[in-house]
Structure 1
Amino acid sequence: MADFLPTRSVLKVCLPVCLLNGGEVDQLRKSKEIDRCLSREKTYVKRLVKILLLGAGESGKSTFLKQMRIIHGQDFDHQAQEDFRATIYSNVIKGIRVLVDAREKLHIPWGDTDNQKHGDSVMAFDTRSAKMAIGQLETSVFLRYLPAIKALWADSGIQYAYDRRREFQLVGDTLM
């Protein structure tokens, strides 16, 4: 006699659906789909690793994240590459300015006295411009200063100042 009766699990699923109208059945289906999505998302979030990076400004927090992205094979899109290019240009200008200033303050003579004009040129660069303030320097502007930067970097006085960088703050000194 009990063989023809449905099991409890079948009754649990079939009976409520049989008593619902079409709209309620659709709502029940959507609810179950949402529950499945939430369950998948919960599993994903559990696997997610969260890191809190603390440190002073210019201590390398962003650099660490960029390196992790590269190591794990997530390429940067074209726009991100262009943004990084502008940031690198900005950092190079700021870095060479710091070196020129430090060379003077540490009373280090120029290796080539002709580089005084290049030093004056980069020191005259307005780092308070809107683009520079957010670390974005256009390629055309950077290229105007590139010959001066190359000449300064090749100068033995600037190299000696760079060797003494522990005596002053050189932001992003790993770029040079």
Structure 2
Amino acid sequence: MADFLPSRSVLSVCFPGCVLTSGEAEQQRKSKEIDKCLSREKTYVKRLVKILLLGAGESGKSTFLKQMRIIHGQDFDQRAREEFRPTIYSNVIKGMRVLVDAREKLHIPWGDNSNQVNGDKMMAFDTRSPSASQGMVETQVFLQYLPAIRALWADSGIQNAYDRRREFQLVRDLVFLHCCYFILMTFTGS
């Protein structure tokens, strides 16, 4: 009578879930789970927008991406902010050096002649130091220059030079303005 029973291979075709061993059933469950995951990923990738940003150095490619992240509600966590801090400090110092230099080259007088000392201090900043050359300025170094930066940013001569920034290259000028505002507000407690 056992000869009349269908073979295991025939039963597995007609009733695939009934004749599986526990190992085979587990493998089939995992396979279905993987297929669902691949399907979800495929849908996600289809909806994903990819952009290739081309441009010269210092043209704002990274800044654009950071602004898009903020605009679309993915703000930076505290760790990311801490990582950006040395770069922001470096940009502020470099930007202020460019403004002091441009003020002189454009023959713009100081609003307050005592700011010549602050301007000299900014121009004496060693941009070839290992950390500064990599675009990183530590907090303690930046704090030494903060009073000079505040005084210079408030000077009408520097503001006049900033207004004429189309006549010289101010690295990331829009970012510089925002960084100055951020830094000054952070350290003044406003």
**TM-score, reference length from structure 1:** 0.82
- In structure 1, runs of 5+ residues without a counterpart are 1-10
CA RMSD of aligned residues (A): 2.1
Counterpart in 2 of 1:5? none
Contact 2:97 2:122 survives alignment (8 Å):
yes
SS in 2 for 1:96: helix
Pair 1:76 & 2:76 matched: yes
Does the 8 A contact of 2:12 with 2:18 survive in 1? no
- Quote the offset at 1:120 in angstroms: 1.2
> How far apart, CA to CA, are the structure 2 residues paired with 1:12 and 1:95?
74
Gaps of 5+ in 2: 1-10, 178-190
Cross-structure match for 1:118: 118
1:142 is aligned to: 142
Instruction: Tell me, yes or no, if the aligned pair for 1:83 and 1:136 is still in contact at 8 Å.
Output: no
Q: Would you say the 8 A contact 1:110–1:156 is kept in 2?
A: yes
Q: Which residue of 2 aligns with 1:171?
A: 171
Kept after mapping to 1: 8 A contact 2:12/2:19: no
* Map of 2:6 onto structure 1: none
SS at match of 1:16: coil
In structure 2, the residue matched to 1:128 is: 128
Residues matched between the structures, number: 166
Q: Which moved more, 1:18-27 or 1:100-109?
A: 18-27
Q: Does 1:16 align with 2:16?
A: yes
Equivalent residue of 1:111, what SS? coil
Instruction: Name the counterpart of 2:67.
Output: 67
Paired with 1:81 and 1:91, the residues of 2 have a C-alpha distance of 15
Instruction: Determine the structure 1 residue equivalent to 2:4.
Output: none
* Aligned-partner residue type, residue 30 of structure 1: K
Match of 1:27 in 2: 27
Deviation of 1:14 after TM superposition, in Å, equals 5.8
- TM-score scaled to structure 2, two decimals? 0.77
Q: For residues 42-63 of structure 1, give each alpha carbon's deviation from its aligned partner in whole angstroms, at most 9, with x where no partner exists.
A: 1111111112222222222222
Once the two structures are superposed, residues 89-138 of structure 1 have per-residue CA deviations (whole angstroms, 9 ceiling, x without a partner) of 21110001001111222233333332221111111111222322332222
Residue identity over aligned pairs, in percent, reads 78
Report the residue type matching 2:32 in the other structure. Answer: K
- Pair 135,29 (structure 1): closer, same or farther in 2 beyond 3 Å: same
CA displacement 1:4-25 (0-9 Å, x = unmatched): xxxxxxx887633444433222
Choose 69-78 or 89-98, whichever is displaced more.
69-78
Amino acid at match of 2:103: R
CA distance in 2, matches of 1:109, 1:39: 66
